[in-house]
Amino acid sequence: MQTIVQPKGWTRPKGYANGVLTEGKLLFIAGQVGWNEREEFESDDFVKQTEQALRNVVAVLHEGGAKPEHIARMTWYVTSNKEYTDQLAEVGKVYKRIIGPHYPAMSLVQVAGLFEAGAKLEIEATAVIPR
């Protein structure tokens, strides 16, 4: 079970939580970019890469015995903040379709580049599987 930690008087964040309190078995997920299981990018479109990266996160979750609602923390690394914000509505739809109405503690960081050529974003996640 996860509890959102929100200081009194703070405006409720949109699309993420300021803090998550939980306990259980930890699953750490890293390096999820928008390529398929053969490490091939099928698109250079930001939203399509986001969709694939989130599907990759969910695949690792399932392999580890977790579900999207067990994600306690996510970090997104994007190569263009403008590309992210310009398509935020579509990114939000993709997120809700794949992860659901679950908003963990989340950070978004713009980076100069990613290790995998062609990647527009990379996602890390930490899931806490209940005991």
Q: What is the CATH number of the domain that holds 101?
A: 3.30.1330.40
- For residue range 73-85, list pLDDT tens digits in order: 999 999 999 999 9
Range of the structural domain that residue 58 is part of: 26-124
Specify the pLDDT at position 10: 86
- For residue range 89-127, list pLDDT tens digits in order: 999 999 999 999 999 999 999 999 999 999 999 999 999
The yes-or-no verdict on residue 1 having pLDDT over 80 is no
Structure pTM? 0.90
Specify the pLDDT at position 4: 80
- For residue range 38-53, list pLDDT tens digits in order: 999 999 999 999 999 9
Asked if residue 19 is part of any domain, the answer here is no
Total domains, the chain: 1
Asked if residue 112 is part of any domain, the answer here is yes
Pairing of strands 121-129, 71-78: antiparallel
Yes or no: say if 104 and 20 are a contact pair by the CB < 8 Å rule: yes
Specify the pLDDT at position 8: 87
Kindly give, in sequence order, each residue whose CB lies less than 8 Å from that of residue 103, ignoring residues fewer than 6 positions away.
Answer: 13, 15, 16, 17
Distances (CA, A) of 25 to 55, 63, 87: 22, 14, 34
The yes-or-no verdict on residue 69 having pLDDT over 80 is yes
Asked if residue 44 is part of any domain, the answer here is yes
Average pLDDT, the chain: 94
Asked if residue 3 is part of any domain, the answer here is no
- For residue range 25-38, list pLDDT tens digits in order: 999 999 999 999 99
Asked if residue 131 is part of any domain, the answer here is no
